[in-house]
Amino acid sequence: MLNDYISGLIQTGTEHTELRAQQTESATVALIGGNLVANTGSKTGGVCARVYKNGSWGFASCADYDKDSARDVLASARENAAFLDGKLRKGKAPLPQTKPFFTAPETLAPVLPRKLYIDYATALDAYIAKTYPGLSGRKVIVKSEKFEKLLCASNGTKAHTVAPRVYVYVFLSADTKDGETLELFDVLDGGNGYFPDYFTAPEQFAEKIDGLYRELMDKTQGVFPEAGKADVILAPSLSGMLAHEAVGHTVEADLVLGGSVAGHMLGKQVASPLVSMTDYAHTALGKPCPLPVFVDDEGTECEDEILIKDGVLTGYMNNLESSQRFGMAPRGNARAFAYSDEPLIRMRNTAVLPGKDKLEDMIASIDRGYYLTRTDNGQADTTGEFMFGVTMGYEIRNGKLGRALRDTTISGVAFEMLKTVTMVSDELVWESSGYCGKKQPMPVGIGGPAVKCKVTIGGQ
């Protein structure tokens, strides 16, 4: 548990200042083909300060954390702000003051021995090897991390937060009849919390692993889709990726200022009226988000940001400085990854909202198209152009699922593609095992329903 060496060092109501102590713990255990190839743990931490002065920022961090280092980084951050202010002389007004946020210190769960992860991964690997002897390769990975932060800010915020997460990943490989190796992976379970919250014995995931295996077997018999524009149903993992990559990033206010396509679209119809999208803080549709965030690293209490409402672009995600620029309320999107990182505008739990359709009706509505179920990565441009790798999917022929697909890619322009949405399923499925990359990594939740739309799909 972090000791409090930072309270009282910042006066409330002064030029915007943050002082943050942080400790990050992570552990990884990986088995490839039954061999333990990674067994690592790390614990990093320190203290940082950031100061705003007339439009210029100063930041400093230190890997030592005690009273003296906290005072030193604060002094360095002030010096750095003064250095830049002396050069740039922007003469800007002070940043808006948000209401202070307080959280009581939390009790930390005891540190778990990594042997627990190794034993579990070994048992899981043995289960897979025994149950599916025909595989050409298998990998099991256990990853956990925990972010503990103690934040004091000049708006009076004093927040002590702990955000743990843990996941188990399984990769299966099999050969086609031509000897080509294909792979599929799945996140067995995990999310906000600690290992015992999710994992007891490998058999608890027998059904999920079996589903992954059957899909892999289908894929070894798979075909490449016909290249070109196609009617598709994007499964929740793809619509969530779309929400994050292709829309979310374009409405981050710093990227809007950098020239993203959304800069010209506020208040305009950018999607079908069936499409709504929100960046949730900690609670979505009455349930906890996969990675809840209650206060950001500028000391602003987190609230939901409605990005698209019934197809109309309604908002951007902001930090204090951009909220002042755009005249919008800051809702707690300024987040930093490590103690040595300054807060950037980041998403939290971004989702396309569910609609009213049933998945089976959506499939039945397509004569010739594809049901795309798994993705391994996605990238998007500030123009809204996006590309997702599709690792699993099926043909749809006359309203029914057909042959499996080999690896392919889909692409499009988000705000054009979203206008082609004609059906949205009634379920919201979250994923949270990855990182968003934007100078710093960041754990985020992405979610969505199944969505029927038109995209460009790559062939062989």
Binding site for other proteins (CB under 8 A): 32-33, 35-37, 83, 87, 136-139, 173, 180-183, 227, 254-255, 258-261, 264, 375-377, 379, 381-383, 385, 387-391, 406-409, 411-413, 439, 456, 458-460
Q: Two tokens at 25?
A: 């713990």
We find the least distance from the C-beta atom of residue 260 to other proteins, in angstroms, to be 8
We find the least distance from the C-beta atom of residue 27 to other proteins, in angstroms, to be 18
We find the least distance from the C-beta atom of residue 80 to other proteins, in angstroms, to be 9
We find the least distance from the C-beta atom of residue 262 to other proteins, in angstroms, to be 11
We find the least distance from the C-beta atom of residue 376 to other proteins, in angstroms, to be 5
We find the least distance from the C-beta atom of residue 182 to other proteins, in angstroms, to be 6
Instruction: Round the CA-based radius of gyration of the chain to a whole number and report it.
Output: 24
Closer to other proteins by CB, 87 or 130: give it. Answer: 87
Query: 190, 183, 170: which is closest to 121 by C-alpha?
Result: 170
Number of helical H runs and strand E runs in the chain = 9, 25
The DSSP line for 177-218 is TTS-EEEEEEEEEEEES-HHHH-S-GGGGHHHHHHHHHHHHH
Closer to other proteins by CB, 37 or 206: give it. Answer: 37
Assess contact for 290 and 445: CB atoms under 8 A: yes
Closer to other proteins by CB, 173 or 365: give it. Answer: 173
C-alpha–C-alpha distance, residues 202 and 124, integer Å: 5
We find the least distance from the C-beta atom of residue 29 to other proteins, in angstroms, to be 13
Q: Is the dihedral of CA 177, 180, 181, 184 positive or negative?
A: negative
Assess contact for 317 and 347: CB atoms under 8 A: yes
Closer to other proteins by CB, 245 or 304: give it. Answer: 245
Closer to other proteins by CB, 202 or 412: give it. Answer: 412
3-state secondary structure of 329: coil
Closer to other proteins by CB, 8 or 133: give it. Answer: 133
**Contacts of range 70-73, beta carbons closer than 8 Å, 24 or more positions apart:** 70/5, 70/6, 70/9, 70/19, 70/21, 71/9, 73/19, 73/47, 73/48, 73/49
Closer to other proteins by CB, 22 or 250: give it. Answer: 250
DSSP bridge pairs for 334:
345
